[in-house]
Structures are given as C-alpha cells and as structure tokens.
Structure 1
C-alpha cells in the first residue's frame, strides 16, 4: 500500500530535510565571512531560494501521500523549511569569528551535499525516464545557472 510506504519514510525525510535546511542556512549565514564577490553571494542566496520550492513541493506531496491532511502537510513543510532561517541566524550571530578551516569545512559539507543530491536525482531520473531527456534537462539547468552567474557579475 502506497500510503503505508510513504508514512514509513515521512519522519526520516522530515528529519533529514530539517538537517539539510539548517546547513543551507548556515552557509547563508556565514557567507559574509567568506572571500567572494557580491555575485557569488547572490548566487548562493538565489540557489538556496530556488531549490526550496521543489524541495517543499516534494516533501508536501510525500506527506499528503502518507495520509496527512493538506493543512498539516503545509505546516510540516513550513516548519522544515523554517530551519533554513534557524541555520542562517546561527551562522550569522554565532559563527562570525569562525576560523577559515572550520568555515571551509562547513562550506565543503554544504557544497558536497548539493553535489550528492544533484547526482542522486539525475541518476534516479535517468533510470526512470532515460538518459537523453534527463541529461538534456540537467545540461539546461547548468546553463541557466551559468547565465545567472554571468548576469549577476555584470550587475556589480
């Protein structure tokens, strides 16, 4: 039964996404300490904001599939995504004097998480829909990110 299957993984996904979102917020909160241009910082902010939409939709869909009412699912999604703000506050107020070693380790963890999630998603979609469609979509996404980065650099 699909409802039982979704309910089995719903709690684990809520916890995992809350941790993930907190580290997203940490990256956002400590980016003022990192060497980089305004474009780099806007790029990180934009990427985090944009990826919250499909992340929230996926979690909400899974929670509804697990049998939660729509209002309850929206509440859980809002709570999970709010941990991004929690991470941002922690990063901004408590990690401002962090050493470059720890700063690098946190940023590497967040970046590695993004790479892992993207790779996992692409491979999973390739198994479902075939290589050509998925790799074309992936390439278009990378191209869009590149265009946005160049555009933001030109704005400064």
Structure 2
C-alpha cells in the first residue's frame, strides 16, 4: 500500500528533468516574445512618423514656454486678454478634435473594413473612453483646478503647485493627440493638428506663469516652471506615435481616445476658466476665432 502511495506521489511530482526542461522552454519562449516586442518597438521608434511626432511635441512645448515669456516683461496682464486667449485656445482645440481627430478616426475605421455604423460606433466608444479616462484621472490624482489656483482672495503655494501639476497632466492627452495624429497617413492633417495644439499652449503657458507670480514667486521661476509643464507633450507624442506604429489597427481607437480626452479638458477646464472673471463675450469671441482659424488650417493644409 505504501509503495503504491509513493508511486502516486512520484507520478504527480513528475520527472524533475522534464519539469526543468519545461521551465527552460517557457523562459526561452518568453524571451523570444520579448525580443520580438522590443524589436517591433525599436522599428516603430525609427519610423519617420515617430520623429515627426517628437518634433511636433517639442514645438508644442516651446509654444508653452513662449506663452509664459510675457511674465518676464509685462508687469500686469489684463484679465480680459487672458480670458480671450483662453477662449481662443478652447476654440482651436475643439476644431482640432473635430477635424483632425474625429473625422480621421472615422476614415481610419472605414479603411479597416468597417461600415458607417461600425466606424461611428468605434469612434463613439473611443471618445467616451478618452473622456472617462481623463475624468478618472481628475478624480483620483490630487490637483487644483484653474479657478481654485488663480482665484481671488489670495493664492496658497500648495494650491498653485497642484495647479501646475494639473496643467502638466492635461498636456499628456494633447501630446498623445499629436503622436497619434502623425501615425495616420495624412502628414498635412497631422501638421495642422500639431500647429493648433501649439497655438492653444500659448495662453496655457501664460496662465500657469501668471498663477505662480500671483503666489509671490519670482518671475524667472514662474517662466521656468511654466515652460517645464509643457515637457509632457513630446514624451506623450513619442509614446502615441510608437504605439500606433506597432499596432496599426488601433489607429481609429487612438484618434478617438485622444479626441475624447481633449474634449474633456476643454469642457472641464479651459472654457469654465475663460468665463470665470465675467469676460464671457470676449472669451466666446475668442473661441469662435480659434475654431475658425483651426478649421482653415486643417482644410488648407489637408
């Protein structure tokens, strides 16, 4: 009886040599798959579109720095001017979402063989996922909204730095949109998208720098921090272009996801801030002007 039990246990344990060989085969397979994935990633990083996306992200980061530059020169910047520029940036982003992300996403889904309803469903789902992802990030990560950081009646240092972190966080979907945009076939449309996002980053950099100055910090530090807040864009642009390069079928989803994220940022942050100080007419006119300019850029270059 004991002999049978020992044989049963030995059978369950299996041959140690075979077990070792199986583990080695599994490890070798995992290494091969990892090497293939790394190779695909390196191939994606060497694609011209990835280099163009990185350039677009760097230009957007420079635009943020350019927007912050006036704090080094001007003593006072009127609230009406800031709100008009914010409205302008909101209009640019809305048009960029519509003409450079949503419509190309529908075309990309159609190119994959989906019909009109299927393509619309993919884009709708991607938009919803992008907006929900930004909503979850907004709820989970500690940060300060624009109206809280730049509100009247004093500005605490902690709230200002949380606000700066929020701006840097919101630059991620913009950079992602640039990278994904360059992953599509239309280079001219991607260029228009990157140009529009760079235009929108100018007032954003100004708002960040002004909030830091209002908290009592030096103008040089305000400029440096505002410029640094835009560095998330080239990193996200590089990641977005590389991802689409490896997984080409993700293009319609990625375009729509970036569009949903940008829509959330515009509706949740930029438009409310542009109208917070009561300059609604100026902000609204700026929005219309920004939308029209971005539409002209997209149609003229596309």
TM-score (normalizing by structure 2):
0.43
Residue 163 of structure 2 is matched in structure 1 by 13
Number of residue pairs matched by the alignment: 148
Greater CA radius of gyration, 1 or 2?
Answer: 2
CA distance in 2, matches of 1:14, 1:126: 20
Alignment of 1:68-83 (within 5 A): 68-83=217-232
Following superposition, the deviation at residue 79 of structure 1 comes to: 1.6
CA distance in 2, matches of 1:75, 1:45: 23
Residue 215 of structure 2 is matched in structure 1 by 66
Residue 3 of structure 1 is matched in structure 2 by 155
Q: Does 1:143 align with 2:292?
A: yes
One of 261, 280, 294 as aligned partner of 1:113: 261
Following superposition, the deviation at residue 142 of structure 1 comes to: 1.6
CA distance in 2, matches of 1:106, 1:10: 32
CA distance in 2, matches of 1:149, 1:109: 20
One of 161, 174, 178 as aligned partner of 1:28: 178
CA distance in 2, matches of 1:150, 1:52: 21
Following superposition, the deviation at residue 124 of structure 1 comes to: 4.7
Q: Does 1:40 align with 2:189?
A: yes
Following superposition, the deviation at residue 95 of structure 1 comes to: 5.2
Contact 1:30–1:96 (8 Å) recurs in 2: no
One of 225, 230, 238 as aligned partner of 1:89: 238
Gaps of 5+ in 1: none
One of 200, 206, 218 as aligned partner of 1:57: 206
Q: What is the SS of the residue equivalent to 1:67?
A: coil
Contact 1:25–1:83 (8 Å) recurs in 2: yes
Gaps of 5+ in 2: 1-152
Contact 2:180–2:254 (8 Å) recurs in 1: no
CA distance in 2, matches of 1:117, 1:46: 18
